[in-house]
Chains A and B, each alone.
Chain A
Amino acid sequence: MIVIIDYGLGNLKSVLGAVQRLGYEVVISHSVDDLEEAEKLILPGVGAFGDGIRNLKDINLIDPLNELVLKRKKPVLAICLGFQLLAEESLEFGHNKGLGWINATVEKINPDGEDIRIPHVGWNDLFVKNESILWEDVPAGTLFYYTHSFHVKCKDQDIVIGMCKYGIDFVAAIQQQNIYATQFHPEKSQYYGLCVLKNFLEKA
Chain B
Amino acid sequence: MLRNRLITVLTFNNGVLFRTKNFFPDYRYTLNFVDAWSIDEIVVLDISRKGSGDRENFLKAVEKFALNCFVPLSAGGGVKKTEDFKKLLNKGADKVVINTEAVNNPELITKASRLYGSQCVVVSIDAKKQAKGKYEVYVECGTRATGKDPVSWAKKVQEFGAGEIMITSIEKDGSLEGYDNELNQMVSEAVNIPVLVCGGAGNWQNFVDGINIGKASAVCTTNIYHFAESSIQSAKKYMVNKGINMRVS
Indicate if the CB atoms of A122 and B3 lie closer than 8 Å: yes
Q: What is the minimal beta-carbon distance from B235 to any residue of chain A, in angstroms?
A: 15
B residues 3-61 near A (Cβ < 8 Å) are 3-5, 36-37, 40
Indicate if the CB atoms of B247 and A143 lie closer than 8 Å: yes
Chain A residues in 8 Å Cβ range of B91 = 13
Cα A17 to Cα B163 in complex, Å, equals 25
**Which of these binds chain A: B66-74, B76-84, B200-208?**
B66-74
**Known contacts A118-B193, A121-B217, A123-B2, A46 near B116 by CB under 8 Å:** yes
Indicate if the CB atoms of B90 and A13 lie closer than 8 Å: yes
**Candidate in B93, B114, B119, B194 with the most chain A CB atoms within 10 angstroms:** B119
A residues 150-204 near B (Cβ < 8 Å) are 165-166, 185, 187-191, 193-194
Indicate if the CB atoms of A193 and B117 lie closer than 8 Å: no
Indicate if the CB atoms of B117 and A123 lie closer than 8 Å: no
Q: Indicate if B100 sits at the interface (CB-CB under 8 A).
A: no
A residues 86-130 near B (Cβ < 8 Å) are 117-125
Cα A147 to Cα B163 in complex, Å, equals 9
The 8 Å CB contact of A123, one of B5, B36, B73, B116, is: B5
**Known contacts A13-B91, A122-B217, A190 near B119 by CB under 8 Å:** no
Indicate if the CB atoms of B92 and A11 lie closer than 8 Å: yes
Indicate if the CB atoms of B70 and A193 lie closer than 8 Å: yes
Q: Indicate if B180 sits at the interface (CB-CB under 8 A).
A: no
Chain A residues in 8 Å Cβ range of B66 = 13-14, 17
Cα A12 to Cα B163 in complex, Å, equals 20
Measured as residues with beta carbon below 8 angstroms from the partner, the interface class of chain B is 35 or more
Cα A128 to Cα B60 in complex, Å, equals 39
Chain B, Cβ-Cβ closest to A12: B90
Cα A117 to Cα B5 in complex, Å, equals 14
Q: Would you give the 0/1 interface string for B153-179, flagging 1 where the beta carbon is closer than 8 Å to chain A?
A: 000000000011000000000000000
Chain B residues in 8 Å Cβ range of A9 = 116-117
Q: What is the minimal beta-carbon distance from B118 to any residue of chain A, in angstroms?
A: 6
Indicate if the CB atoms of B70 and A187 lie closer than 8 Å: yes
Q: Indicate if B120 sits at the interface (CB-CB under 8 A).
A: yes
**Known contacts A47-B116, A143-B247, A14 near B1 by CB under 8 Å:** no
Q: Indicate if B229 sits at the interface (CB-CB under 8 A).
A: no
Q: Indicate if B145 sits at the interface (CB-CB under 8 A).
A: no
**Known contacts A47-B116, A118-B193, A125 near B1 by CB under 8 Å:** yes
Chain A residues in 8 Å Cβ range of B40 = 122-123
Indicate if the CB atoms of B71 and A118 lie closer than 8 Å: no
Chain B residues in 8 Å Cβ range of A20 = 67
The 8 Å CB contact of B117, one of A81, A145, A165, A185, is: A81
Chain A residues in 8 Å Cβ range of B70 = 17-18, 21, 187-191, 193-194
**Known contacts A48-B117, A118-B193, A145-B71, A124 near B2 by CB under 8 Å:** yes
Indicate if the CB atoms of A190 and B3 lie closer than 8 Å: no
Cα A191 to Cα B35 in complex, Å, equals 13
Q: Indicate if A149 sits at the interface (CB-CB under 8 A).
A: yes
Q: Would you give the 0/1 interface string for B115-139, flagging 1 where the beta carbon is closer than 8 Å to chain A?
A: 1111110000000000000000000
Q: Indicate if B187 sits at the interface (CB-CB under 8 A).
A: no
Q: What are 18 inter-chain pairs, A to B, with CB distance below 8 A?
A: A9-B116, A11-B94, A12-B90, A13-B89, A13-B91, A17-B66, A17-B68, A18-B70, A21-B70, A46-B94, A51-B115, A119-B119, A122-B194, A123-B3, A145-B71, A185-B72, A187-B70, A188-B71
Q: List the 8 closest pairs (A to B, CB-CB), nearest first.
A: A13-B92, A47-B117, A147-B119, A123-B247, A17-B67, A123-B3, A190-B70, A124-B2
B interface residues (Cβ-Cβ under 8 A, vs A): 1-5, 36-37, 40, 63, 66-68, 70-73, 89-94, 114-120, 163-164, 192-194, 217-218, 247, 249
